[in-house]
Copies of this chain bind each other. A is one copy, B any other.
């Protein structure tokens, strides 16, 4: 650095370096020395647009003015933050586990008390404050296995194949960690849908594996097309070894529900190509379209016959954060691991044990989800009402979102068959595309930033999930209340029309 540049060193640079005896001390950890795989990670759901939304929120709180009075965060599947009420029974059980003195309280139902007692009996010292075994509390693992057997109409589930996790994300990262080999990482291909939930791309970046994209078919309600799987796999084999296929069903951000036939095709493909299957089924309770039904990958595998069911390595993920409970903050979840080599399973347990165990309150919440009140129990009626109310409202909002968006010229939205998101395709005029390019940003990022700044609505650009070249989208949740969702969709419509006019020179 020459003398004159030295004089103009910025205040920030000074702040990042200490001084002793007049010499500058460089920081140890800088952008130059930071793990480059961390640098490569992107996570749009909490990315720049969400940081900007937070800034606007603070600006409004401090009395600043904008053309809107509040920021509506439709960027993340965070149901309670959008006003959804917790399921009473679930919270009762977790509160009883947390503060067992409540067992004496007449205001807590017996159905909740016996569940809490049973969970606590499975905890060291009968306390939620003990570590559990690394794969989770034994009786909760057993309840999960029983739930899966019931869900899958009798397909057997072994509780020793169940591992509780800290949300589904933790399970997904852990399984990928087994599959992506350190030094050979850049030869390990991980097949993911495009558009995808960006946890997958982030994990692949962090582990320096190869992301192998298979594109969902937007013209066919985001269906998974088996020919596209073959194409992607063939192409990837030229430069890496595809070892895993990840599927999200119901889809995030795309909201499609896979047909049984399609799942069979994927499993047959995985069988033939020796792929490990990771099936993200956290939205299994979120199916709205009357002609759609959730089919678990495991059940379909079973029905394909013993040759398949005894050999395809499959992990399925579930979570407390979605469904009708929306308990994101509890960080609860589980995975069921099928056909994993027994020695590898021991390695999995070892890896989990380094992080000790998943949070116990999340494990308890998961237990309620898989072991809910039964028709003969007193708590059934209220539980059932609350559950139906949440799922009914979501179904209504799914329909409403699709309808309003499709009435806007230049927006095309596939049916929201399941999950919690709409992923509409938006037409962005060439002039806006050029402007974005000049600013060094994706065209849909420009769109979403403008939407945020002009209306206070926070959605995530499609580029954060992946999309076909020269197509643009955004992801919005359907979680706001119907009232707020109507306002939100109206604002999106008006904004979109303004945006089109402005960039088509029609203003």
Contacts and interface: CB of A to CB of B under 8 A. Distances in A.
Contacts of A356: 46, 167, 169, 328, 331
A12 B342 CA distance: 9
B354 A33 contact: no
Contacts of A95: 95, 98-99, 102
Given A99-B94, A330-B359, A81 B39 contact: no
A47 to B, nearest CB: 8
Contacts of A276: 28-29
Number of copies: 2
A29 B199 contact: no
Contact of A344 (B34, B170, B182, B343): B34
Contacts of A16: 341-342
Contacts of A271: 20, 25
Nearest to A128: B329
B329 A123 contact: yes
A80 interface: yes
Interface stretch (A224-232, A305-313, A468-476, A486-494): A305-313
Given A29-B313, A95-B99, A361-B98, A329 B132 contact: yes
A197 B167 CA distance: 26
Interface residues of A, number: 111
Contact of A350 (B43, B102, B355): B43
A130 B80 contact: yes
A82 interface: yes
A86 to B, nearest CB: 5
A359 B327 CA distance: 10
A397 to B, nearest CB: 16
Contact of A35 (B39, B180, B325, B355): B180
A354 to B, nearest CB: 5
A18 B311 contact: yes
- Residue of A42, A127, A169, A311 ringed by the most chain B CB atoms within 10 A: A127
Interface in A96-125: 98-99, 102, 105, 107, 123-125
Interface string A246-278: 000000000000000000000000010011100
A330 B128 contact: yes
A129 B327 contact: yes
B329 A130 contact: yes
A275 B33 CA distance: 13
A107 B108 CA distance: 14
B125 A83 contact: yes
Interface string A220-248: 00000000000000000000000110000
B311 A17 contact: yes
Contact of A99 (B91, B275, B325): B91
Residue among A82, A99, A307 with the highest chain B CB neighbour number at 10 A: A99
Contacts of A125: 80-84
A30 B345 CA distance: 10
A7 interface: no
A25 B17 CA distance: 58
A203 interface: yes
A351 B167 CA distance: 16
Contact of A328 (B107, B130, B206, B307): B130
A356 to B, nearest CB: 6
A177 B35 contact: yes
A80 B129 contact: yes
Given A27-B313, A35-B182, A311-B25, A43 B128 contact: no
A341 B27 contact: yes
Interface string A337-379: 0011111100100110111111111100000000000000000
A388 interface: no
Contacts of A12: 342
Contacts of A80: 123-125, 127, 129-130
A76 interface: yes
Contacts of A244: 28
B29 A344 contact: yes
Given A30-B341, A81-B124, A98-B98, 6 more contacts: A18-B312, A25-B311, A81-B127, A169-B354, A331-B331, A331-B360
14 contacts: A15-B342, A27-B311, A27-B313, A28-B276, A31-B341, A33-B181, A45-B353, A46-B356, A80-B123, A127-B329, A182-B185, A331-B356, A331-B357, A359-B362
